[in-house]
Structure 1
Amino acid sequence: MSLWSKLFGGKSGDTAGAKPKANMHEHKGFQIEVAPMKESGGYRVAATINKDVEGELKTHQMIRADTIASLEEAEEVTLHKAKQFIDQMGDGIFR
């Protein structure tokens, strides 16, 4: 836990059984649901990417090998990787 979290009321204690809250972001017409997965020793980079294509909701589950120690950092890395994936693949994500 960081010093700032301790000073400003961050949670402490064991959160091994806790599921991180998902949060939504929009990037170039895609919806990104950032939802890192709890793993031993940290959180796995994971997100669901959605887009409405010709009236049909397309979904892609992105799960990376990367594991990050803190939830907050895992959420930041996940969002960055999802945006990068969208920038590189565009609608090809759903093929």
Structure 2
Amino acid sequence: MGFFSKLFGSKKSESKNEQIEPTHYNDYLIYPEPKQEGGQFRIAGRICKEINGELKTHHFIRSDLLSSRHDAETFMIKKSEMFIDQMGEKMFD
């Protein structure tokens, strides 16, 4: 399998090298990181916030699958904003 990846290129290595720009919401940073699964994208990402000098991170994964990466990123941001409004810093407990 490694031979074919080198011959035809591997998408996984490209996606790990890309920089993700966070979306700022209140004092939180939202990093959309959709996971590709069977030609669709699972809504996933991170919510981060600095609390008392320490960067706290909550990994966010949903069961929703969408047909485009852009849609999965957009939906992840919206869902994260609602989650932040509901949970606040409790998400890091």
Scaled to the shorter chain, the TM-score interval is: 0.7 to 0.9
Q: Which moved more, 1:74-83 or 1:20-29?
A: 20-29
- Structure 2 residue identity aligned to 1:87: D
> 1:17: Cα distance to partner?
3.3
List runs of 5+ in structure 1 lacking aligned partners: 1-15
- 2:37 equivalent to 1:39: yes
1:78 & 1:23 partners in 2: Cα distance?
14
Q: How many Å apart are 1:76 and its aligned residue?
A: 0.8
Which residue in 2 is equivalent to 1:17? 11
Query: Which whole-Å CA distance do the structure 2 matches of 1:23 and 1:63 have between them?
Result: 18
1:1-95 alignment runs, 5 A limit: 17=11, 19=15, 21=18, 22-95=20-93
RMSD of the alignment, in Å? 1.7
C-alpha separation between the residues in 2 aligned to 1:23 and 1:38? 19
Aligned length: 80
Structure 1: distance between partners of 2:88 and 2:80: 11
**Percent pairwise identity:** 35
Match of 1:13 in 2: none
Q: Summarize deviations over 1:48-90 as a string: whole Å, max 9, x none.
A: 1110001111011001111111111111101101111101100
Q: Would you say the 8 A contact 1:30–1:49 is kept in 2?
A: yes
Q: TM-score, normalised by structure 2?
A: 0.78
* Runs of 4 or more consecutive aligned structure 1 residues displaced over 6 Å after TM superposition: none
Measured after TM superposition, the shift of residue 47 of structure 1 is: 1.0
TM-score, normalization: structure 1? Answer: 0.76
